[in-house]
């Protein structure tokens, strides 16, 4: 948040429908970014940390452009090598179910898999 802008109080404790965290829209956005950045990419261990960080940053920036002004965003990206191993991911949240939500997508190619989850938490 910029300290330089003066923000007046809106006293909104619920988002308008247009500004709500819409799961379909966000899922589509995540899927596009994953396709763009990961198609044809091979798993090379040295490059994966920066790749996952750049993926998380792109998703975060794209979500900010979508206009979720009152939302705090948490983006988590996990990239792993595709070896036929077992992996289980679970998330549970303590939040306000009316206003907060999450979207996730899974991208798999023959050398890696990528799980990206974006959470949107309304800031009252």
Partner 1 sequence: VNYASLCFCQTAFVVDEVSTIVKEAVEGAIGGNAYQHNRVNQWTNNVVEQCLTQLSKLGKPFKYIVMMLAHVIFFHLTLSVPLNSNLHYHAEEWSWFADSLFMFLGQHHRWYDAHRSCTVRWENKSMYCIVSVFGLSI
Residues forming the site for partner 1 (CB under 8 A): 45, 48-49, 52-53, 56-57, 72, 74-81, 83, 85-96, 100, 102, 117, 119, 121, 123-124
Nearer Cβ to partner 1 (17/94): 94
Tokens of 13: 């404790």
CB of 56 to partner 1, least distance (A): 6
- Decide: 123 and 70 in contact? Cβ < 8 Å: yes
Q: Let me know: does 116 contact 54? Beta carbons within 8 Å.
A: no
Show the tokens assigned to 90. Answer: 């679970």
For residues 108 and 124, which CB has a smaller minimum distance to partner 1 in the complex?
124
The token pair at 6 is 């003066």
Query: Shortest distance, CB of residue 38 to partner 1, whole angstroms?
Result: 14
């Amino acid at each position: 948040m910029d300290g330089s802008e003066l923000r007046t109080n809106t006293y909104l404790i619920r988002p308008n429908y247009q500004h709500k965290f819409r799961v379909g829209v966000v899922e589509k956005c995540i899927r596009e970014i994953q396709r763009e950045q990961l198609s044809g990419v091979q798993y090379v261990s040295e490059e994966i940390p920066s790749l996952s960080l750049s993926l998380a940053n792109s998703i975060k920036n794209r979500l900010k452009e979508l206009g979720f002004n009152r939302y705090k965003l948490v983006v988590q990206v996990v990239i792993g090598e595709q070896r036929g191993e077992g992996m289980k991911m679970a998330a549970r949240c303590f939040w306000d179910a009316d206003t907060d939500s999450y979207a996730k997508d899974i991208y798999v190619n023959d050398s890696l898999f990528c799980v990206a989850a974006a959470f949107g938490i309304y800031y009252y």
